[in-house]
């Protein structure tokens, strides 16, 4: 069983507009904004608007439309930020062992220069 969704998590508050963000993209299914503590020259977070904590729930329970919308948003943001040709990294921290800090599913996009290896 995965943890219940906490509607007061920071990304929920950003999605509700209660906390500002440096938005780069928004559509029906997703919101993307710059990470507040960038770990690369480009560091963007792409967040599905649905109340998903984990990839497990999202992949198993979200509608095909929602999943496709999110996947396309990630690709769109990467393209719009010129990451496609030079290359970039996508990453999702999932759960305790994954080091997930914000309990609302999100994908990190890193780019804008050569990236060090992050895989141990
Ligand atoms: P993760 O849950 O993937 O381990 O990390 C959450 C990410 O969200 C971190 O990279 C952190 O810098 C970012 N973050 C946390 N709080 C905020 C916030 O209020 N605004 C923005 N833009 N990013 C945040």
* 3-class DSSP assignment, residue 111: strand
| Active-site residue list | 106
- The whole-angstrom separation of Cα 19 and Cα 42 is 21
What is the full per-residue pLDDT of the chain (120 aa) written as tens digits? 568 999 999 999 999 999 999 999 999 999 999 999 999 999 999 999 999 999 999 999 999 999 999 999 999 999 999 999 999 999 999 999 999 999 999 999 999 999 988 765
SS3 86: coil
Q: Give distance in angstroms: CA of 81 to centre of ligand 1.
A: 19
Q: What is the pTM of this model?
A: 0.97
Using a 6 Å cutoff on CB, does residue 101 contact ligand 1? yes
For residue 25, the cross-strand partners are 32
DSSP result, 12-62: HHHHTTSS---EEEE-SSEEEEE-SS-SSSEEEEEEESS----HHHHHHHS
Q: In the chain, where are the structural domains located? A: 10-96
For the segment(s) 10-96, the CATH number from 3.40.1260.10, 3.20.20.80, 3.30.428.10, 3.40.1440.60 is 3.30.428.10
**What is the spatial distance between Cα 76 and Cα 83, in angstroms, rounded to a whole number?**
10
pLDDT at 74: 98
Mutation probe of ligand 1 site: the residue of 10, 14, 25 with most atoms within 8 A of C-beta:
10
């Amino acid at each position: 069983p995965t943890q219940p969704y906490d509607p007061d998590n920071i990304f929920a508050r950003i999605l509700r507009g209660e906390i500002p963000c440096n938005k780069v993209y928004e559509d029906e299914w997703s919101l993307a904004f710059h990470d507040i503590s960038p770990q690369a020259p480009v560091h963007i977070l792409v967040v599905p608007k649905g109340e998903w904590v984990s990839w497990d729930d999202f992949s198993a329970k979200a509608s095909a439309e929602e999943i496709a919308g999110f996947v396309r948003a990630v690709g769109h943001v990467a393209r719009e930020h010129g990451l496609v040709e030079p290359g970039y990294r996508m990453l999702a921290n999932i759960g305790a062992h994954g080091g997930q800090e914000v309990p609302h599913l999100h994908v990190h996009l890193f780019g804008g220069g050569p990236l060090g290896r992050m895989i141990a």
